[in-house]
Chains A and B, each alone.
Chain A
Amino acid sequence: MRVALADDSTLFRQGLALLLEDHGVDVTDQLATGDQLLAAIRADPPDAAIVDIRMPPTFTDEGLVLADRIRELHPAVAVLVLSTYAETPYAIRLLQRGGRGVGYLLKDRVADASALIGALHRITSGEAVIDADLVATLVAQQHRAKQLDPLTTREHDILRLLAEGRSNAGIGKILHLSPKTVEPHVASVFLKLGLSSDADDNRRVLAVLAWLRATPS
């Protein structure tokens, strides 16, 4: 797998590149700004781009803007946004722009090499990736609010994995179930939450996230 990355922190950028190379990922470019990354992708499109959410010039959410640009100009390149903000509005904003193969991962997750590599594989195969920490926070909140009571333990796990952006096959693999067994469980979760399950892409993730974030009005 070929990956280009942009982060303004040299220390982190180099560490990340070395870690990726250790795991057999071909790091094509390591750059400090979004403009440099866009130029590099134009010159030699990689399979995926890793971008830091907070970069110059304003050090706010350049990473999200950059992700949108990459998706718009190079739809074939998957984008993984690394963030220090464990806050769902950013992840939702990323997913809302549509398309396939985007991910929102917390930066501290990256030290877990298998999680990082797994996320890269998932986005390059068109899945969405939402950091498990974000999902855990939302699920815990709804759990406290007793909104999840109708779900069985298995359905509970499936809901969490759905929110993380996993496909039915991915869910089956983690829970050691065959895809055929997963499908009715997923359908049951959607039924119990009152969601429609026809979409198998970002929209499914968004629907689950929206339900998890929904506050009684």
Chain B
Amino acid sequence: MALLLTAALILVFIVLLLYTREEYFWAPPTEGWIIVTICGGFAAAAAVLVWEPGQRVNGALLAAFGVCFWISNWYPLFTPPAWAVPTAMAIDASQFVPYLLLTTVLLRYPERRLAYRYERVCLAVSGVWLVGWQVVASSSAPPNSAPIHSWPTWLLNYDRQVDAQNALIIGMIAILAVLTLHMMLRIVRTRSLDRRTYGPVFAATVAAAVVVVINLLAADRDLPSTRVQVQHFETVRLATLLSIPIALLLGMVLIRLDRSRVADLVVRLKSAGEPSELEEALRQTMADPSLTLLFKSDDLNSYHDVNGAPSPPPEAWPGRLQVAVSNPRGEPLAVVLAHPSVDHHRALFDAALTASAFALENAALQASLLARIVELRESRARLTETSVAERKRMERDLHDGAQQRLLALGLTLSRAESNSHDGPAAVLLQQARAELAEALHVLRDLARGLYPAVLTQLGLGPALEVVAERLPLQVSLAVPARRWSQAVETTAYFIICEALTNAAKHAAADQARVVVQEREQRLVLEVTDDGRGDARLQWGTGLVGLRDRAAAAGGTFSIVSNSSSGTTICAELPCE
């Protein structure tokens, strides 16, 4: 429909062009040629625009503007045949129509509708104003001059008409100022690809509006000395108008040139091994740094990002352009979330997604593996946390339950012993008390092994001093006197404890050195001994356990061991 309308309008334009007198084109300052060029430019832009997806109505409106503009400029310079006079009069009387059409297109473009309410209000006000203008302009003629319009003359005093016209001009300037500001804001607000494609159109619109405002200001003064300049200015105004279809065409050309970005993308994909690299490549292609890839988890109920971290489902991202990508077998691979403006470049976007189909399938697989790793890491951390909490609970239970009861029993035995005076009973009671003391000793060691209270209360340094005091080797400690989170302190404590115990038990070391340092939000632990140095990770499960502990806390673990320099165990744990 819009297509047919555009074709018909362009046809009308060509027919009218054929009717135009030849000398019109040669009249100085070759205004005729400029007008034909402008109309031709708009016709070309309209013809290209109607083929653009979602731009048919805008294209038709643009074509309509071109034809109306042609007719309104053609009529005064053309002496119409007698049969065409009534039509020509009607056309002349409705000169405001092309400007309303143009304003509508420029406000809509590149959307399919007026996006904001105030745009509609602005357009309505402009319409009312232009109609009013026409009515006032036609209502009276200057004294002693023949009316140039065939429009009915109103019974208005000429002076009053001049006042009204001045008021209308000021109002028009105000409306144009609002539109100019609006367009400038659009230039500022559009991003990346949009700015490149539509920015020239917005800028041309601003330029045209500014020129019209200046024109109106000059006309308002209407001084004889400025007449010539006004004449020249008319040329400038028409040239500025021409910049609008040129900008529109430029945008269309740029959209087509953008398809070459897909070629760049294909080259980039060759070296994009990780899902995050694919995401980055797509971001660059679409010039949208907010572009996000979401992959569906295996359980199909949750989503994860390129790093495998859990992500909210696409429904939780309102206002984003969402495109679901499937593999050739129709299985869902990923959901791409992009800035809404990417929809203006849908052809490029679809091409980019098609080009990255294989990479996306790979990335979906990799991301699902990563997600599983993340899940495992988290569950391991949770298990460690649970085990620490469980140890603390058992230590507390031992202390508050068994230990207290045995201690009370000790007191009773002691009293019984002192009341039994001397005799065989006293000897037995003393023996019982000694055995109880031994039991309590064992229980205390057990409680400390489960979870050392001194670690919670006094921190890593004092807790390690206590460990060092009990080991049959000389231990030098360099531990900062500060506190970290319980999880970090516990992990660090057990790793160092185990390392020192290994040094004493298996490596037969005489000396060990413990250095704890905080570097860039990582706690770096280093335990060095002077022992045999035959420690291997695959050997005793103790060392593997240490590595697991460090890994569960999101850290790293390494070991260097040889007979000449003993064993060095190094672990790094993330700490805030």
A residues bordering B, Cβ < 8 Å? 9, 11-12, 14-16, 18-19, 22-23, 54, 59-61, 84-90, 93, 107-108, 110-113, 137-138, 141, 144-145, 213, 215-217
Contact = CB atoms under 8 A, between A and B. Distances in A.
Query: Which one of A15, A19, A54, A137 has the greatest number of beta carbons of chain B within 10 Å?
Result: A15
Given A23-B418, A110-B411, 16 more contacts: A12-B407, A12-B408, A15-B407, A18-B411, A18-B415, A85-B454, A89-B454, A107-B407, A110-B414, A111-B414, A141-B468, A144-B472, A213-B465, A215-B476, A215-B477, A217-B476
B276 interface: no
Contacts of A14: 408
B149 interface: no
A154 to B, nearest CB: 24
Interface of B: 396, 399-400, 403-405, 407-408, 410-415, 418-419, 433, 436-437, 440-441, 444, 447-448, 452-454, 456-458, 462, 465-466, 468-478, 511
A23 B511 CA distance: 48
Nearest to A90: B454
Nearest to A11: B408
Contacts of A145: 473-474
A84 B444 contact: yes
Nearest to B436: A111
Contacts of B475: 215
Contact of A108 (B399, B412, B440, B456): B440
A89 B408 contact: no
21 contacts: A12-B404, A12-B407, A14-B408, A15-B408, A16-B411, A19-B411, A23-B418, A87-B462, A90-B458, A108-B410, A108-B440, A108-B441, A110-B410, A112-B433, A113-B415, A213-B465, A215-B468, A215-B475, A215-B476, A215-B477, A216-B474
- Cβ-closest 10 pairs across A and B: A111-B410, A15-B411, A89-B462, A11-B408, A108-B440, A9-B404, A111-B414, A15-B408, A87-B466, A145-B474
A22 B415 contact: yes
Contact of A215 (B440, B454, B474): B474
A188 B453 CA distance: 38
A60 B447 CA distance: 14
A213 B466 CA distance: 9
A213 B453 CA distance: 19
B469 A213 contact: yes
A67 to B, nearest CB: 15
